[in-house]
Amino acid sequence: MYSYSQFDTDFLATRNAQFRAQVERRIAGNLTEDEFKPLRLMNGLYLQLHAYMLRVAIPYGTLNSRQMRKLAEIGDRWDKGYGHFTTRQNIQFNWPELKDVPDMLDALAEVGMHAIQTSGNTIRNVTADHFAGAAADEIADPRPVAELLRQWSTDHPEFQFMPRKFKIAVTGSPNDRAVTKAHDIGLRMLQRDGQNGYEVIVGGGLGRTPMIGKVINDFLPEADLLPYLEAIVSVWNQIGRRDNKYKARIKITVHEHGIDEIRRLVEDRFVETRKTFTGVDVQMLREIEAHFAAPDFVKKSEAPFKDAYHKDPVFRSWADTNLTAHRAEGYKIVSISLKKHGETPGDATGDQMRLMADLAETYGHDELRISHEQNVILPHVHVSDLPSLHAALQKDGLATANIGLISDIIACPGMDYCALATARSIPIAQEIATAFDDIKREHDIGALKIKISGCINACGHHHVGHIGILGLDRAGVENYQITLGGDHTEAARVGDRVGPGFSADEIVPAVERIVDTYLDLRTDADETFDITYQRTGLAPFKAALYPETKVAAE
């Protein structure tokens, strides 16, 4: 696993000491909030509705048991005994006090973690497929290049004051689990004629103006990556709109100039940037790759797994939903659901974090991942260990068998925490999960992604949910707008708005009507919601949601 160099360690220590001094000056009244705010945001510290919030980066979602235990300790000591894992593969602590934040950052630094570039107009925490280095369908592990990008962008002088924030995601698998088409830059690793390279996608993003990224280069040779990305960022730095915050993201630049024009400008600029790279970057990539070497996979009998699978229906149900094919023989990827019915999506208590850390150490080659779907992954578990692992997870409410199902909902913090929210999202997720758990139908319903955001910033990815829910404030009342048919995979698509929104009381019944409509329409149990929707379109769902308008039209 990658460990930070002495340079990184010193850099972190210096940054933390600086911030400690800034916090002291702020508390003493020697810095105004206007002066302090940009400094705290650079260090991941927000002020939300009820308290400060510290956002900690988990680069490409990868951490080890020591780091997970440290997060548990921080949650216990300075938060209310828990942490919230987010769609950006971060963890957020919702209740720190200002004076404690420097100590929290020092505690994080002990395990090489930090909160830098989780905020501000910088290149943010690079995200990657949470199954990286483990998935059976993977061409190559995307984390080394994500780490290379982190090193290249962290504190890069040209990229500290960009028109707006900039987000990069990487996948090493043709099945995109990193939502690359909804990022400013998405990279898909490819191999062509024995050569490594990338499909480069630019201008995706959600938020106020959702856009699906467009391919700017369908095969960029590996060695050209950094100069090419530098060319993209530099073109955007030059022609991106700084006059209007809402038009500043590269998705708007691409939209306004057209992808062909942007490609031409980037190619021109690339001629220049390329000269400044000497190949050191590729050498660095090779060195980084060595840190991500696969663990020593073992071979042992699979009998305990088969035995439990036949005998124990609860284990079987969990194994059927929460395991994914691994590239090594005898291994599985385990998704631990942080979506127990009725609980807050993405929250884990300190005890749960410690248990997951222990299990990673005992059964999972000491590796954990955070998925953008707000679950925790043990990427490398031998099947023979799964029955014991499952039994341990059951003890602490972590064995919910619902990965990919209707209750595996992404929800942003919404108005329960977020100062920007226009409505709540967490209670809606809790109610939907509980409602479908009560009728025990979610396994019958099958794969279905619900994603909820509490305002148009779309932190909950609602545009790309099969069912997307956006919470709004309509004349002082919470109101929920539904979109259908969004897709977060390589076939990314922004969902279609169904019509007028629903009140907080009406939203769960509305989701139930959508699901009932799907169950009526599907050809058989293998036809998933998204396939049915592609076949039928919006009309039958609209009719089910707004029967009165249909009557009125007749």
Partner 1 sequence: MPKTFTPKVVTANHLLKGDVIYQTATGWSRRLDEAEVLTDEADADLRLIEASQQVDVVVGAYLADIALENGIPAPTHFREDFRATGPSNYAHGKQVELG
* Residue 122 or 453 with smaller CB distance to ligand SF4: 453
DSSP assignment of 472-487 equals EEETTEEEEEEEE--B
Q: Which of 196, 394, 457, 536 binds ligand SF4 (CB under 6 A)?
A: 457
Task: Choose the one of partner 1, ligand HEM, ligand SF4, none that binds residue 205, judging by a C-beta under 5 to 8 angstroms depending on kind.
Answer: ligand HEM
Decide if residue 209 touches ligand SF4 (CB under 6 A): no
Task: Choose the one of ligand SF4, ligand HEM, partner 1, none that binds residue 424, judging by a C-beta under 5 to 8 angstroms depending on kind.
Answer: partner 1
Task: Choose the one of ligand SF4, ligand HEM, partner 1, none that binds residue 453, judging by a C-beta under 5 to 8 angstroms depending on kind.
Answer: ligand SF4
Contact call for residues 514 and 482 (beta carbons, < 8 A): yes
User: How many angstroms separate the CA atoms of 511 and 517, rounded?
Assistant: 10
The binding site for ligand HEM (CB under 6 A) comprises: 46, 48, 53, 86-88, 92, 164, 182, 205-208, 249, 412-413, 417-418, 420, 457-459
Instruction: Annotate each residue in 464-503 with x if it binds partner 1 (CB under 8 A) or - if it does not, as one string.
Output: ---------x--xxx-------------------------
Decide if residue 375 touches ligand SF4 (CB under 6 A): no
Decide if residue 182 touches ligand SF4 (CB under 6 A): no
Residue 169, SS3 per DSSP:
strand
* Residue 427 or 446 with smaller CB distance to ligand SF4: 427
Q: Which of 83, 210, 240, 454 binds ligand SF4 (CB under 6 A)?
A: 454
Residues numbered 393 to 422 that lie near ligand SF4 (CB under 6 A) are 412-414, 418, 420-421
B/e letters for 311-333, b = 16+ CB within 10 Å, e = fewer, are: eeeebeebbebbbbebbeebbbb
Residue 5, SS3 per DSSP:
coil
* Residue 30 or 549 with smaller CB distance to partner 1: 30
Q: Which of 115, 123, 212, 455 binds ligand SF4 (CB under 6 A)?
A: 455
- Tokens found for residue 164: 């707006």
Measured between its terminal Cα atoms, the distance across the chain in Å is 64
Min CB(279)–ligand SF4 separation in Å? 41
Decide if residue 27 touches partner 1 (CB under 8 A): yes
Q: Which of 80, 264, 291, 300 binds partner 1 (CB under 8 A)?
A: 80
Task: Choose the one of ligand HEM, ligand SF4, partner 1, none that binds residue 178, judging by a C-beta under 5 to 8 angstroms depending on kind.
Answer: none
List the one residue out of 539, 543, 482 whose CA is nearest residue 508: 482
Residues numbered 418 to 447 that lie near ligand SF4 (CB under 6 A) are 418, 420-421
Contact call for residues 92 and 413 (beta carbons, < 8 A): yes
Decide if residue 417 touches partner 1 (CB under 8 A): yes
Q: Which of 453, 479, 483, 517 binds ligand SF4 (CB under 6 A)?
A: 453
Min CB(454)–ligand SF4 separation in Å? 3
Pick the stretch among 150-158, 310-318, 453-461, 506-514 that binds ligand SF4 (CB under 6 A): 453-461
User: How many angstroms separate the CA atoms of 373 and 460, rounded?
Assistant: 9
Q: Which of 353, 458, 464, 514 binds ligand SF4 (CB under 6 A)?
A: 458
Contact call for residues 448 and 469 (beta carbons, < 8 A): no
* Residue 355 or 418 with smaller CB distance to partner 1: 418
Q: Which of 6, 28, 243, 286 binds partner 1 (CB under 8 A)?
A: 28
For residue 254, the one-letter residue type is: V
Q: Which residues pair with 189 in a beta bridge?
A: 198
For residue 30, the one-letter residue type is: N
* Residue 381 or 450 with smaller CB distance to ligand HEM: 450
| Helices assigned H by DSSP within 258-336 | 259-275, 280-291, 303-311, 313-322
- Residues near 261 by beta carbon (within 8 Å), at least 6 away in sequence: none
31-40 long-range CB contacts below 8 Å, 24 or more apart? 38/120
Min CB(295)–partner 1 separation in Å? 37
Would you call 512 exposed, middle or buried from its count of C-beta atoms within 10 A (0-12, 13-18, 19+)?
middle
Rg (CA), the chain: 23
**Residue 367 burial (CB count, 10 A):** 20
Decide if residue 303 touches partner 1 (CB under 8 A): no
Contact call for residues 149 and 183 (beta carbons, < 8 A): no
User: How many angstroms separate the CA atoms of 417 and 414, rounded?
Assistant: 6
Min CB(410)–partner 1 separation in Å? 15
Q: How many residues bind partner 1 (CB under 8 A)?
A: 31
Q: How many residues bind ligand SF4 (CB under 6 A)?
A: 13
CA 373 remoteness from chain centre:
6
CA angle 424, 425, 428 (to 5 degrees): 105
User: How many angstroms separate the CA atoms of 520 and 532, rounded?
Assistant: 10
Min CB(421)–ligand SF4 separation in Å? 3
Decide if residue 41 touches ligand SF4 (CB under 6 A): no
Instruction: DSSP letter for 250, please.
Output: H
Contact call for residues 435 and 445 (beta carbons, < 8 A): no
User: How many angstroms separate the CA atoms of 473 and 455, rounded?
Assistant: 9
Decide if residue 239 touches partner 1 (CB under 8 A): no
For helices 313-322 and 386-395, angle between their N-to-C axes, nearest 10 degrees: 100
Residues numbered 335 to 364 that lie near partner 1 (CB under 8 A) are 344
**Residue 395 burial (CB count, 10 A):** 10
Min CB(459)–ligand SF4 separation in Å? 3
Task: Choose the one of ligand SF4, partner 1, ligand HEM, none that binds residue 234, judging by a C-beta under 5 to 8 angstroms depending on kind.
Answer: none
Decide if residue 427 touches partner 1 (CB under 8 A): yes
Residues of this chain that bind ligand SF4 (CB under 6 A): 412-414, 418, 420-421, 453-455, 457-460
Residues of this chain that bind partner 1 (CB under 8 A): 26-29, 32-33, 47-52, 80, 95-99, 344, 415-417, 421, 424, 426-427, 430, 473, 476-478
